């Protein structure tokens, strides 16, 4: 059974992993008869945002602890995961990707990437193992591999696409239920909730196609 690493960035779209995208990715991995190896960084998230009011809260939460809610406790510290033990990698979206895993939300194309995330993702790529990136996660791919001029999609958000292209990556407009597959880089992307008004079944369709393509290359 193929082992697919799933990197989570917390719990909740405003400050962590987008829960529906994460669950859909896990569902697709299971449906396609692979095993999900769920992981997250063991550090505090950038900030905490109320998912009811949208206001920033005066509290601190740990990314690994929060991600464990989605993983039902079956989760590992990303710093302890070896790329050699995985066949592929999937990164669901959510603002936590752009705030916690990297700083794209604040610094755009000049953003830094969390060292433990950079280490695992770049090693997976060096080993020529496939990666699937969902929603805003393609921006993380662009930060790491934009100099390879890979093709990615975040849907059709012009401003975000322009910032991604500053890294050297090529943005391709894409419908919510479709994927952008860069075969040479072995990186697959899909927009998901970059389309905020998309229907659930459309989002799942795109994510399942993304996971299926990743597994076909694994």
Give catalytic residues, as residue numbers: 135
Q: Which residues contact 143 (CB under 8 A, 6 or more apart)?
A: 102, 104, 109, 111, 113, 167
Within 10 A of 196 (CB to CB), how many other CB atoms are there?
7
Q: Are 205 and 179 in contact (CB under 8 A)?
A: no
Q: Which residue has the tokens 């529906």?
A: 20
Three-class HEC string of 163-188: HHHCCCCEECCCCCCCCEEECCCCEE
């Amino acid at each position: 059974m193929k082992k697919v690493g799933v990197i989570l960035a917390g719990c909740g779209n405003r400050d962590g992993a987008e829960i529906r995208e994460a669950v859909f990715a896990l569902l697709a991995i299971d449906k396609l008869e692979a095993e999900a190896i769920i992981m997250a960084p063991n550090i505090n998230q950038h900030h905490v945002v109320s998912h009811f009011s949208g206001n920033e809260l005066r509290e601190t939460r740990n990314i690994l602890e929060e991600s464990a809610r989605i993983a039902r406790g079956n989760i590992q510290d990303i710093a302890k995961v070896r790329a050699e033990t995985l066949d592929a990698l999937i990164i669901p979206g959510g603002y936590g990707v752009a705030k916690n895993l990297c700083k794209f939300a604040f610094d755009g194309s000049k953003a830094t990437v969390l060292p433990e995330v950079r280490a695992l993702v770049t090693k997976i790529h060096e080993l020529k193992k496939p990666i699937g990136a969902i929603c805003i996660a393609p921006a993380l791919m662009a930060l790491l591999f934009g100099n390879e001029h890979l093709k990615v999609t975040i849907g059709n958000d012009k401003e975000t696409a322009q910032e991604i292209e500053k890294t050297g990556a090529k943005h391709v407009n894409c419908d919510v239920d479709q994927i952008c597959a860069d075969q040479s880089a072995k990186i697959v992307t899909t927009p998901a909730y970059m389309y905020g008004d998309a229907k659930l079944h459309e989002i799942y369709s795109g994510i399942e196609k993304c996971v299926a393509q990743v597994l076909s290359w694994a």
